[in-house]
Amino acid sequence: MKKHLIFAVCAALLTALLLSSCLGGISGPESGASSAAERTSAETDVQSSAYPDDQTTAETAPDTEPETETEPEQTTEAVTEEPVTTEEETTGPSPDAFVIAPPEGAETVGYTERGYAIQTKDGFWYVGGILVVNKTYPLPADYVPDGYPVPMQDKVENRMLPEAQEKLVEMQKAFLEENPTAKGFKIQSGYRSYMTQNRLYTNYVSKYGQEYADTYSARPGHSEHQLGLAADLNVVGTSTLYESIKNTTEGKWLAANSWKYGFILRYPEGKTPVTGYIFEPWHFRYVGLEAAAAVYESGLSLEEFLGIDSVYRD
C-alpha cells in the first residue's frame, strides 16, 4: 500500500514536470519572434537614419541639378535666335558693304549708317571701297602720287593721275563732239601737294578768318586735290572760278554727263551741311565708272550716299 502511494506521488510529480516543460516550450517561440521583430525594426531604423529620403534628395540634387540647368541653356530662345555665322562674317564684310571692290589687305574698323564698310590701309580711308578724303577722313601728310615730284618741288598744278586724266580727255572730246561751237572746258587746278594746299589755306585764313576759309578751302591733308583724282574745271578762256559756270553750256553738260566718265560733282548745291563746303559747280572727283554711276543715280552727295560726315575733329 505504501509502495503504491509512493508510486502515485512520483507519477504526479513527473506529470507536473512534463506539463511545466511543455508550457515553457510554447512560450519560447513567441519570445523569439518578438526579438526577431525587434531586431528587424532596429536594423530598419539604422538603415533609415543612415540614408533618409530627404538627405538623399539634398545630397544628390546638386549633382543632378547642374545637368538639368545647363541643358536648357543650350536650347533657350536666346541661343537659337542668335544669327547663324555666315561665310561673309567669317571672311569679312558682306559684298553689300561695298560700292566697288575694296583694296586688298584693308582693315575694317566699322560701318556707316548706310551699312558700308569703313576701312583703312596705309593711312588712307575707304568707305564702301571708295577712297574718301574730306574733313573727317584725312590723307597722310607725306602722300605724293606715284610719278609726281616731292611736295617742295610741286609745279604740276594741272595734272591728274593717268586713269583720271585719260577719262577727262575722253570727256572733253565727247563734249566738243556734241557741242562743236562751245569753247570747251579745261583743268583750272588739278593735283596739289600738301605744301601747296597749306600755302593756299593759310593765305585764305589770314585774309578771311578760319571759319569762313573752312567753308571753301580744305585744310592741308584734307584736300582731294592731293589725291591727284580731283580737278577744278573751268570754261576755256576763263581764269577765275565762278558759281555762274553752272549756267554755261560746259557747266550744264558736266553736271549731267560727267558720271559717264567716272566723275562726280563733289560739292552739290544745297549740301553744305553734309559735305562741309559751299556749292562748287567746278569741282569734280574721279571715283571710277561704277561708283560714279551709283552716286549720280542716287541724287545724293558722296557723304549722303555713303552715310558719313565731313567734320574736323580738332
Which sign does the torsion angle of CA 218, 219, 220, 221 carry? negative
Phi, psi (rounded to 5 degrees) for 111: -135, 150
Which entry of 177, 280, 297, 303 is annotated as an active-site residue?
280
For 93, other C-beta atoms within 10 Å of its C-beta total 19
For 248, other C-beta atoms within 10 Å of its C-beta total 18
Give the three cell numbers for residue 228: 591727284
Is residue 280 among the annotated active site residues?
yes
Please give the helix or strand (H or E) that residue 205 lies within, else none.
helix 194-208
For 200, other C-beta atoms within 10 Å of its C-beta total 18
Give the three cell numbers for residue 118: 569703313
Question: CB-based burial of residue 286 (10 Å sphere; 0-12 exposed, 13-18 middle, 19+ buried)?
Answer: buried
Residue 254, classed as helix, strand or coil, is helix
Residue partners of 90: CB distance under 8 A and separation at least 6? none
Q: Give catalytic residues, as residue numbers.
A: 280
